[in-house]
Amino acid sequence: MVHHSAVHTSRHDREPSSDPATVADQAIPASGLDLPLELVLDNTIVGISYMRQRRFIWTNVRMAEIYGYAPGELTGRSVRDLYATEEDYREVGRMYATLSTNRFYTHERPMVRKNGELIWCLISGRMVDSSGADSASIWVVQDITDRKHVEDQIRRANLRLEQTVERRTLNLRRSYETLQREIERRQAAQLASADTRQKYRALFTHIPLGVLVISEEGEVIEANGTVQTCLAASTRRDLHQLIQDPSRAIVGDGCTSLAGIIRQHLPVDRRRVERFEVIWRSNRGIRYLSAVAAALARHGLGAVVVFQDETTQRLALQREQEQHQALAHASRVSLMSQMAMTMAHDLGQPLSACQSYVMGLRHRFAGELRERPELAHAVDRIAMHLDEAGSIIANARSFLSRHTREFETVDLAELARKTLDLLEIQLRSAGVQAIVESAELVPLARGRPTELQHVLANLVVNAIEAMASVPSGSRQLTIRIGCERRSLVPVQVADTGPGIAPARAETIFESYGSTKEAGLGIGLMICRTIIESHGGTIRLLPERSSGACFRFTVPVAGADD
């Protein structure tokens, strides 16, 4: 048996899969292996290499795969190509002088794959003979990147947990010590001073933690208002019934009583404080009661249990997770926009070819088309639909493309009609009748057409979704372009949906202020940012009998800033 004496010891040295002794005993030649043994080595789950003067003479398939190389591509390469830093390479090189044929060198280091990606590897090696640093050596490599990531996550989680526990422990200890001192002071001065008793009662009642004192038999001795609020108990009798109710405290997939959990976690030693977490089912649903501490009280007064309600923190964490999911959804929407841009570009070429064919038909068969009006009508219809398709694609490309930041002269009525053309399929599918109303002598506006079209499209899509619950015959969308004064052009987008509640209307332009259950809550925020960057304003008009009406303004072209 070979004695494992590594320069750096690791708990992985004892794993059979990372022991290179079995490979060294085969005396691997530089010219190759017999077929059966090579097949065995190539199908191992660890990387194996045979090296001389720190260059690869032979590697199995797994070794090349770990570092992102093709089979055989590492042969002849210097191992320096795989180290992340020159210092790591030199440090391992300095260890060669201390190795012998019966000693191993094991270490964990960050290595570099062919594509530049950093990975963590567990590397074990030994010299084939002890002739010196230039003798042959055998090395076994395992990819432990996932394990390192898990260890790092666990280490970070443990650190956060330790900090949280330390902080809460300190708070609970201070609260408990304060309460304990007050109890002792009350017992000592109970007969001498009624004023001291009143002070104790005020402290016990108003302490911001729920405090429950129970006897050894499980009877409630003392309970402050906070714990009664947490457990939704109006009287002392109700509180006793609630903590004995076997359906209130949730443990795993089942339920038990709060009194049973407290008895289970009561410390045996009076100097100890047991901390645990309880999920409490109140009359209104589920509440999380965390950072629960239980300790035996002095003078035979039973036990003291302190509660801290963390429902708000849990809800905030859940909200944060939902927002992460919403941001992931926004990323997918952005990807779909890129795909739509690609489709618009690719469809433009065949449409252009079709238009050329139609022009060729008209030119080549002009005489026959004059004699056969039905064919001429069909060709005209084909040309018209091709022009419409080309306009839609051009409009879509303009809407999705990267555009200049310079302001341009914009006809808002024409831009509104183009936006409705762009959303024609959605409007028709939803059964919405959409019209554009424009006042006489409406001046041209100054802005970025694509950004203003984004605002119009967002408001129209919101209106379509809002009218989903309205009978199909009553779904109407109106875009009105007015002429308020010489410096601003007002635009209104009104629908006949259920409208927006006044309480929600105050937050719809804020981040994550969506009125839809699955809404991201950033669409109207982006609209407000665009309009304000143009020097205008956007708001929801109040006091409508039905539906919602959004109004925004855009500066008139040529008006003074």
Q: What is the pLDDT of residue 482?
A: 87
User: Is 549 a residue whose pLDDT tops 50?
Assistant: yes
Give per-residue pLDDT as tens, 12-44: 333 333 344 444 444 444 444 445 677 778 788
68 and 203 together in one domain: no
Q: What is the pLDDT of residue 7?
A: 35
Of residues 494, 505, 425, 428, the one with CA closest to residue 456: 494
Angle between helices 412-422 and 449-466 (to 10 degrees): 50
Domain boundary among 362, 387, 402: 402
Domain boundary among 402, 423, 438: 402
| Backbone phi and psi for residue 485, each to the nearest 5 degrees, phi listed first | -155, 180
Q: Alpha carbon of 116 to those of 60, 323, 353: distances in Å? A: 21, 33, 46
420 and 395 together in one domain: no
100 and 196 together in one domain: no
| 16 domain-assigned | yes
Parent domain of 109: 11-143
Give per-residue pLDDT as tens, 479-514: 999 876 678 899 999 999 988 887 777 778 875 445
| 150 domain-assigned | no
78: left (phi over 0), alpha (psi -120 to 50) or beta: beta
Of residues 461, 490, 464, the one with CA closest to residue 475: 464
Task: Sort strands 476-481 and 433-438 into parallel, antiparallel or unpaired.
Answer: parallel
User: Is 182 a residue whose pLDDT tops 50?
Assistant: yes
| 4 domain-assigned | no
- Rg of the chain over all Cα atoms, to the nearest angstrom: 38
260 and 359 together in one domain: no
The structural domain count of the chain equals 4
Q: Where are the beta strands (DSSP E) in 189-236?
A: 210-214, 220-223
Q: Do 554 and 446 meet the contact criterion of CB atoms below 8 Å apart?
A: yes
| 558 domain-assigned | yes
Please count the other Cβ atoms lying within 10 Å of the Cβ belonging to residue 286.
Answer: 11
Split at pLDDT 50, 70, 90, the class of 407 is confident
423 and 450 together in one domain: yes
| Mean pLDDT, residues 149-167 | 89
297 and 375 together in one domain: no
Domain boundary among 309, 329, 358: 309
Q: What is the pLDDT of residue 9?
A: 35
Q: Which CATH number does the domain housing residue 444 bear?
A: 3.30.565.10
- Listed in sequence order, the DSSP H helices in 515-557 are 523-533
Of residues 436, 437, 492, 501, the one with CA closest to residue 466: 501
Q: Which CATH number does the domain housing residue 340 bear?
A: 1.10.287
469: left (phi over 0), alpha (psi -120 to 50) or beta: alpha
Give per-residue pLDDT as tens, 207-257: 777 787 877 777 777 788 777 777 777 777 777 777 788 877 777 777 787
87 and 229 together in one domain: no
Angle between helices 145-189 and 194-206 (to 10 degrees): 160
Look up residue 389 and give its two tokens. 């398709």
| 47 domain-assigned | yes
Please count the other Cβ atoms lying within 10 Å of the Cβ belonging to residue 121.
Answer: 19
Split at pLDDT 50, 70, 90, the class of 194 is low
| 151 domain-assigned | no
Give per-residue pLDDT as tens, 129-157: 766 657 788 999 999 999 889 988 998 98
Q: What is the pLDDT of residue 484?
A: 67
More confidently predicted of 515 and 481: 481
Q: Looking up tokens 């999705």, which residue turns up?
A: 400
421 and 549 together in one domain: yes
| Backbone phi and psi for residue 203, each to the nearest 5 degrees, phi listed first | -65, -45
507 and 428 together in one domain: yes
Q: What is the pTM of this model?
A: 0.37
Q: Which CATH number does the domain housing residue 220 bear?
A: 3.30.450.20
Average pLDDT of the chain is 78
Give per-residue pLDDT as tens, 297-315: 776 667 888 877 777 776 7
66 and 84 together in one domain: yes
426 and 437 together in one domain: yes
Q: Do 230 and 310 meet the contact criterion of CB atoms below 8 Å apart?
A: no
| 148 domain-assigned | no
77 and 97 together in one domain: yes
| 88 domain-assigned | yes
Sequence-separated (6 or more) residues with CB below 8 Å from residue 272: 295
